[in-house]
């Protein structure tokens, strides 16, 4: 987990859930500077790659935007190849002195794959159909997994994503209930 520097602006909790070729990504709207809420309705999820990829970020806001721009450039270079674009971005992240100091994480997803891009330049494809990042990520992940595992109940993943962020907002002081959601099918 990234430690909070009181002089850095942070975005917080993102969750992504997939079921077959449908993926939903949800993020809260809170941005903090130290212990102060700077903004309550930030949009931390973007459509990139011609609208075919969702990217959600947590961590230092300026760093996240820098990484988002780099990933978008890689998607332009490798269209419709999310895995390759992520790996090429990770190579840059690990070798570039500027990128290595960035404090952000991203979840990126298209209709086929979901990846976590860590602050160390790692690219991780989750074993399960749910993943989360940010200060409230553990709460959102636990809530989503709990709802996904209820026997004989098939909840809509949009409902699960929203409810998991609401639960995280109830538990994490860096997460609020101003939820933005994006879906791909």
* Cβ neighbour number for residue 76 with a 10 Å cutoff: 12
**Contact between 126 and 151 (Cβ < 8 Å):** no
* Cβ neighbour number for residue 69 with a 10 Å cutoff: 10
Q: Is 12 a catalytic residue?
A: yes
- Pure H helices in the chain: 61-77, 82-95, 97-100, 137-148, 157-171
| Catalytically annotated residue among 12, 61, 114, 175 | 12
Dist CA 100 CA 108 (whole Å): 19
**Contact between 24 and 158 (Cβ < 8 Å):** yes
Dist CA 134 CA 96 (whole Å): 24
Q: Could you list the active site residues?
A: 12
């Amino acid at each position: 987990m990234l430690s909070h520097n009181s002089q850095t602006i942070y975005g917080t909790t993102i969750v992504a859930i997939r079921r077959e070729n449908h993926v939903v990504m949800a993020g809260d709207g809170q941005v903090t500077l130290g212990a102060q809420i700077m903004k309550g309705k930030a949009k931390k999820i973007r459509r990139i790659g011609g609208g075919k990829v969702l990217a959600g970020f947590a961590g230092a806001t300026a760093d996240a935007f820098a990484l988002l721009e780099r990933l978008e450039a890689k998607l332009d270079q490798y269209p419709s190849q999310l895995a390759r674009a992520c790996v090429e971005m990770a190579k840059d992240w690990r070798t570039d002195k500027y990128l290595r100091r960035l404090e952000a994480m991203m979840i990126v997803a298209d209709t086929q794959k979901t990846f976590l891009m860590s602050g160390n330049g790692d690219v991780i494809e989750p074993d399960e159909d749910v993943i989360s990042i940010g200060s409230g990520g553990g709460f959102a992940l636990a809530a989503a997994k709990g709802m996904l595992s209820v026997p004989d109940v098939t909840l809509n993943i949009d409902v699960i994503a929203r409810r998991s962020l609401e639960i995280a907002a109830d538990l994490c002081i860096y997460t609020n209930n101003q939820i933005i959601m994006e879906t791909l099918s």
